[in-house]
Structure 1
Amino acid sequence: MPTHPLTTDTGELSPLPHDLPFDPTHGYDLPRLLAVKAPPEPDDFADFWRERYASALTVDTAPRIEGPWATVDGVRVADVSYMSTDGVRIGGWLTVPADGRVTQGCVSTHGYGGRSAPDSWQAPPGTATIWPCLRGLGTRSLLPGVPSNSAGHVLHGIGARESYLIGGCVADVWCAATALRLLVPEAAGRLTYLGTSFGGGIGALALPWDDRFRAAGLTVPTFGNHPLRVTLPCTGSGESVRMRFAEEPTVLDVLAYFDAATAARHIEIPVHVSAALFDPHVPPPGQFAVHNALAGPRELLVLRAGHFAYPGEPAETAALEDAQRTFLSGPDPVAPSPTA
C-alpha cells in the first residue's frame, strides 16, 4: 500500500472533510475492503458472455480514419470510427507514435463523463491506442433516444439482459480491438486495455472472453458486486440503479449478468487495479470486489480517494499513471502480492 499525504501522528490516514449526506467510505477500512467478495454468478453467466463475444467477432467493423492527422504531445492523432454490434457506428480517436514504431496496442475507455479528446500521455511508449466513445456517450457516439447522462444511460434497456445498454458498450470494446488491429496491424501482437470508472467496469466485463488482450489497467472500476452496491448511497450512476432496485428488486436478476466482480473471476491475464478508500461516486467496496475476485496475476494501488479533490491528489494521480504505464509495458508483468 502506498503512503499518503493526509496522515495523523500515528501514521493512520486522517478523515477527508466533506459535506456529503453519507460516508463515502461506507465504514470500510482497508482490511475489510480486501475481504469483499464477488456475488454468486448465474449458471449461464459465462455462456451468455461467450455468445455475445462470438457475435461481436462477426461484425465487419469497417474502421476508417476521418479527417487529417495531427501531432500532439509526441503522438499522431486522428479521428476514427468503426461499426459495432446492433448497427451502431462508434466514434473516437486513434493515436500512434510519431516515429511510427509500434510495439503494442491498447483500447482505452472513459468514465461516465464521456471523452472529448484522447489522453495520449496515459499509454506506454510505442503504443497504438484506440480511444472510443462507447455507445450513447459523448462526444462522438451519441445516439437518438439514449440518455447521455450517467443516471439515464445506466438504466437504458435494463429490463432484460438482452436489451441492457451496458452489454452493447462491452461489445464496443471488442469491436474496438478488431478495428485497431485492422488500422494498425503491428498492434495485434500485444493488446492491452485501460479503463477508468465506467470504463473500468466495462473492461472487467469484456476481458474474460477476449483472448486478444494480454494485460489491463482498471482504475476505480464500477459495477462491482451489485447486490452490495444497491445498499450503498452514492453520487454516481449506482444511485440510479439503487433507486430502481428500491422500486423493482427483480432488477438484480438482470444485473447479475453485468457484475464486474463476477466477471473478474474469469479474468486470467495480468491486471493492475487502482481502488480508492474514499469515493462518493463509486462505492469503494465494489471497486475492491473487482480486484479481489481476479483469477490471474494482479497488482493493487490503493488510492486515498476517487472522484474527489483532495490534497496530494496530483502526485497520487501521477504515481498511478506511471504505475499503469510500467505494468502495461512488455514483457507481460507478474504482479507482487496485492497487499504489498
Structure 2
Amino acid sequence: MDIAETPGAVALAHDFPFDPGHGYGLDRLLRVPAPPEPAGFEAYWRERYEAALAVDPAPEIGAVEEVRDGVRIHGMTFSSVGGVRLGGWLALPEAGPAERGFVIGHGYGGRDRVGPDVPLPLPRSAAILPCVRGMGERGRVPGIPDVAFRHVLEGIASRDTYVIADCAADLWCAATALRTLVPEVAERPLGYLGESFGGGLGALALPWDARFGAARLTVPTFGNHPLRLTLESVGSGESVRGYAARHPEVAEVLAYADAATAARRIRVPVLVAGALFDPAVPPPGQFAVYNALGGPKELHVLTAGHFEHAGLAEETAALGEATTAFFGRTPVA
C-alpha cells in the first residue's frame, strides 16, 4: 500500500472489545519512538551472541519431504545454546549450487510445515527454517511451554533466564547450521525474514551478527514494551501485559528484550511491513521498530496484520514482490 494513500487510522469491521488500530493513523505511527536503552544492553546481547557462536550446532539433514518452487525441502535438526536439540527444515536449490542463503523465522505458535515461506525471495537460494525452542512439534523442549501466552512468560523474572533471548540465540545457531550445511553460502551475507514473533526476534538478533546483510521484518512484535503494556491485544503481548500488572518490576527485564531498542543498532538494510490495524501485535509497537532502525530502511504499509480482510491476497502478493525487489538490491543478492 502506498504511504500517501494511508494518512489516517484504518476502520475495519470487527468484534474485538478494543480498537486494533488504537486510534493511530500513519502519521502518528511514524512518530512512535523506541524507549530508552537500559544500562548494559549492548554487553548483555554481545555476551549472548558470543555464547551462541561458540556452539557447534552439529546439523543433520533428513530425507526430502517436498519438492516445489525450485527447491528440495529436507527435514533437519541442530543444537543450540543450553544443549537443546531443535528441528526445522532446510530448503536447497532443486538443481545446481546455492548462491545465497536465508534464515527464516516463524510466528508465535511455531510452524508444522514450510508453507508460504517457499518460494524463497530470490532464486538459487538455500534457506534454513528453524523452530525455536518450545515452538511447534520440531521445537519442543521439556520444561518450555508450547503455547504462546505461556511461552512468552517463560523465565521472565530475570533477563538471564528469559526465553526470548534464548530464542534469538536459536536463530544465531540456525545461521551457523546453514553455513555448515551449505558451505557455498558461508562467505556471503545472509538474509533474514521473520513475521510477528519471528520479526521481533529478528530485530533482537540482527544488531550483533555481522553474518546478516539484509532483513525483512513483517508486523514485528516486542517493540516499545512500555507502550505495549498500555495497549490491549489478543496476542502474547496481552499475557505479558497481565503479568506486568501483577509484577511491575518485570519492566526492567522487558527493557532488555525490546525490539525497538535493538533496532537502533541495526545497520544493514531492513524492509519492515507494518500494519495499521492488528489485534495481535499493536501497530505502535511495530512502527517503533521501523522508526528506530539505524541503517537503510524501507516501509511497506499493510492494511492489517493477523486479520482476514478484503484485499489480503493482493496485499500478500504485493509484499512478496516488494520483498524480492528489496533483497535483489541488497548485499544478499
Name the TM tier (shorter chain).
Answer: over 0.9
Whether 2:141 is the aligned partner of 1:143: answer yes
Matches within 5 A, 1:1-340: 2=2, 15-68=11-64, 70-118=66-114, 119-188=117-186, 189-332=188-331
AA at the equivalent of 2:85: R
The CA distance in 2 between the partners of 1:225 and 1:325, in whole Å, is 29
Deviation for aligned residue 1:190: 2.4
Contact 1:154 1:165 in 2 (8 A): yes
Contact 1:4 1:13 in 2 (8 A): no
Cα-Cα RMSD:
1.8
1:219/1:126 CA distance change after superposition, 3 Å: same
The CA distance in 2 between the partners of 1:16 and 1:317, in whole Å, is 18
Deviation for aligned residue 1:205: 0.2
The CA distance in 2 between the partners of 1:42 and 1:276, in whole Å, is 28
The CA distance in 1 between the partners of 2:25 and 2:99, in whole Å, is 40
Q: Which sections of structure 2, spanning at least 5 residues, go unmatched?
A: none
SS in 2 for 1:140: helix
Identity, in percent, stands at: 57
Deviation for aligned residue 1:122: 3.9
1:69/1:280 CA distance change after superposition, 3 Å: closer
Contact 1:4 1:304 in 2 (8 A): no
TM-score, structure 2 normalization? 0.95
Contact 1:122 1:321 in 2 (8 A): no
Deviation for aligned residue 1:219: 0.1
Contact 1:25 1:279 in 2 (8 A): yes
SS in 1 for 2:248: coil
Q: Which sections of structure 1, spanning at least 5 residues, go unmatched?
A: 334-340
Deviation for aligned residue 1:100: 2.2
Contact 2:3 2:301 in 1 (8 A): no
Deviation for aligned residue 1:121: 1.3
AA at the equivalent of 2:49: Y
**Which of structure 1's runs of 4+ aligned residues deviate more than 4 A?**
11-14
AA at the equivalent of 1:132: P
Count of matched residue positions in the alignment of Structure 1 and Structure 2: 330
What does the per-residue CA deviation read over 1:261-306, in whole Å, with 9 as the maximum and x for residues that have no partner? 0000000000000000000000000000000000000000010000
The CA distance in 1 between the partners of 2:311 and 2:3, in whole Å, is 11
Contact 1:270 1:298 in 2 (8 A): yes
The CA distance in 2 between the partners of 1:79 and 1:4, in whole Å, is 43
AA at the equivalent of 1:133: C
What does the per-residue CA deviation read over 1:27-70, in whole Å, with 9 as the maximum and x for residues that have no partner? 11101000000000112000000011011111011001123464
Contact 1:85 1:171 in 2 (8 A): yes
The CA distance in 2 between the partners of 1:225 and 1:51, in whole Å, is 23
Deviation for aligned residue 1:125: 1.1
The CA distance in 1 between the partners of 2:163 and 2:120, in whole Å, is 27
The CA distance in 1 between the partners of 2:266 and 2:119, in whole Å, is 26
The CA distance in 1 between the partners of 2:10 and 2:224, in whole Å, is 27
1:177/1:123 CA distance change after superposition, 3 Å: same
SS in 2 for 1:146: coil
The CA distance in 1 between the partners of 2:202 and 2:323, in whole Å, is 15
